[in-house]
Amino acid sequence: MLVLVAGVTVAGAVELPKMFSDHAVLQRGEKVPVWGWGDAGEQVTVEFGGQSVAAKAGEGGSWQVELEAMEAHAEGRTLKVTGSSSGGVEVRDVLVGEVWMASGQSNMQWRLAQTERAEEDIPTAEFPGLRMYLTPNVTALTPQRKVGGEWLETNPENAGQFSAVGYYFGRKLHRELGVPVGIICTAWGGKPSEAFTSREGLLTEPEGKALVDQLDQAMASYDEEKAKANFEKALAAWEKKVEEIKAANKESGKNQGLPRKPGMPQAPGLNPGRPASIYNAMIHPWVGYALRGAIWYQGESNAGRAKQYETIFPQLILDWRRLWQKELPFYFVQLANFKKPSTEPGVPDEWAELQNAQRLTLALPKTGMAIINDIGMANDIHPRNKLDVGERLARWALAMDYGKTGVAISGPIYKGSKIEGDKVRIEFDHAEGLKSRDGGPLKRFEIAGEDRKWVWAEAKIDGESVVVSSPDVPEPVAVRYAWASNPEGANLVNGEGLPASLFRTDDWKLKTEK
């Protein structure tokens, strides 16, 4: 007799990975793989939405089927999986719509409850057709096929823990398209892009290979017994210190803080900042799950290696596309303005170089960039305004993937330059209605001649271009705009009020270029 259990498996029953669980959202308009495990050689049948597809489990018990492309469906259906010898499982309240992965570091992970609109937006978060999957933060030495977590419906009880950027992106799509939307959150704060990229993907370029080689060297020299002995020694010292502080506090009546407890030793490959460590445990389990595309907010942890990011960030995108075997749309957030505002031109700046590396990534097809150099905070790397971030990402998806017309997808992005005597003409994409945000003169343009000495420039709008000059530079060769961690006063926008990205016309050596 087959034993059916709603949303879970029992001993001897067919097993599904966690992404196929109650409240899941499946991708519309394309074939949908469904996979799992059972008894070796058994026949497994998957039923959903009037379809019935069967497959034979392999020697290790793994199996996979494909559901034919489906239209969006906002009423929950049951996904039923049965095995000829091992029992079955039912997954309930499954919708069909649009599925996106939301990944990156802390600004993508940042919870809705922590944003400036939390008190307004959490009580009104009643969207049965909008779901989010919060993938737990774990690492692994090798690619995994199982993942923890669960699908959550959008309601006031759940929404506060959602990725705020993912939520606002998904809400915008849900409202505009009128179909269910599923957001898969795979973010981890403070982690570099190479941790989200597969080992194979990193090996395709010298910059990525160098990172893998460093990891291999660390793994080769890792002595587990020595690490354990050092940990036990450090733990004993910590325990002794804690007792001493407690005794001193009791005697003095003060409350001196306790030292941090030493962490358990782990292999270098399990460090979440190491290449492929997050990919193995949090991205690879999702490979093959049908989705429309990905959104990404990361870069802060790579700022010190911004020149390298020009290569390893595109590697990540190309790697995911290889793994999903499709040209996934990939829309990312350019870092926000941050740190103390600068006042001088020509200052080398790692943060600006990282933003520029992100801009250069637009050379890849089916990519888009949300520019947010107008919403950052000088003293906090986590801007609390996540609404504009999510909705600016959604602009790209709505226009590029869903055919929405009349949508301004971006602020001005540098297209090219031309020297015209003692002036330089800068041309932009997305430049309809160029203007200054505050109605005053354009600011934060700087110009240089062959001597590479930067000075502040005069910049005037001429149609969909900007003409830049300075009496101090009669023979200009290069222009930069907003080239600073926090380019206070940068005010070039288009008719929609969307800010222009920083850029440089030169190819002079960067601060982070080794």
- Look at residue 12 in the predicted model and tell me its pLDDT: 60
* Rounded CA separation 321/309 (Å): 18
Instruction: Choose among 425, 412, 420: nearest CA to 468.
Output: 425
**Residue 106 confidence (pLDDT) above 80:** yes
Strands, sheet with 465-469, edge to edge from the N-terminal-most edge strand? 413-420, 423-429, 465-469, 458-462
- Look at residue 181 in the predicted model and tell me its pLDDT: 98
Contact call for residues 134 and 188 (beta carbons, < 8 A): no
Ranges of H-type helices in 267-349: 277-278, 306-324
The CA radius of gyration of the chain, in Å to the nearest whole number, is: 26
Task: Identify the three-state secondary structure at position 259.
Answer: coil
* Rounded CA separation 49/328 (Å): 26
Worst-scoring range by mean pLDDT, 233-237, 256-260, 315-319? 256-260
pLDDT in tens, 12-58: 689 999 999 999 999 999 999 999 999 999 999 999 999 999 999 99
**Residue 6 confidence (pLDDT) above 60:** no
**Residue 148 confidence (pLDDT) above 70:** yes
pTM of the model: 0.94
Other beta carbons within 10 Å of 496: 14
pLDDT in tens, 385-404: 999 999 999 999 999 999 99
pLDDT in tens, 496-505: 999 999 999 9
The three-point CA angle 375-376-378 to 5° equals 140
* Rounded CA separation 345/352 (Å): 13
**Residue 10 confidence (pLDDT) above 70:** no
Extended beta strands in 38-72, E state: 43-48, 51-56, 62-67
pLDDT in tens, 69-102: 999 999 999 999 999 987 899 999 999 999 999 9
The H or E element spanning position 169 is: helix 164-177
Express the helix, strand and coil content of the chain in percent, nearest 5 each: 30, 25, 45
How crowded is the C-beta side of 273, counted as CA atoms within 13 Å?
Answer: 8
Q: Is 190 left (phi over 0), alpha (psi -120 to 50) or beta?
A: left
**Which structure tokens are listed for 433?**
């209605």
Task: Identify the three-state secondary structure at position 279.
Answer: helix
Residue type, 261: K
The H or E element spanning position 81 is: strand 73-83
- Look at residue 253 in the predicted model and tell me its pLDDT: 82
**C-alpha pair distances (Å), 441 with each of 328, 415, 427, 447, 466:** 40, 22, 18, 16, 12
- Look at residue 280 in the predicted model and tell me its pLDDT: 98
pLDDT in tens, 222-257: 999 999 999 999 999 999 999 999 998 988 888 888
**Which structure tokens are listed for 290?**
């049908």
pLDDT in tens, 351-366: 999 999 999 999 999 9
Q: Write the CB contacts of 10 (distance below 8 Å, at least 6 apart in sequence).
A: 3, 87
% of the chain at pLDDT higher than 90: 93
Average pLDDT, stretch 197-208?
98
End-to-end CA distance of the chain: 66
Residue type, 139: T
**Which structure tokens are listed for 58?**
């392999």
- Look at residue 140 in the predicted model and tell me its pLDDT: 98
**Residue 8 confidence (pLDDT) above 70:** no
- Look at residue 9 in the predicted model and tell me its pLDDT: 40
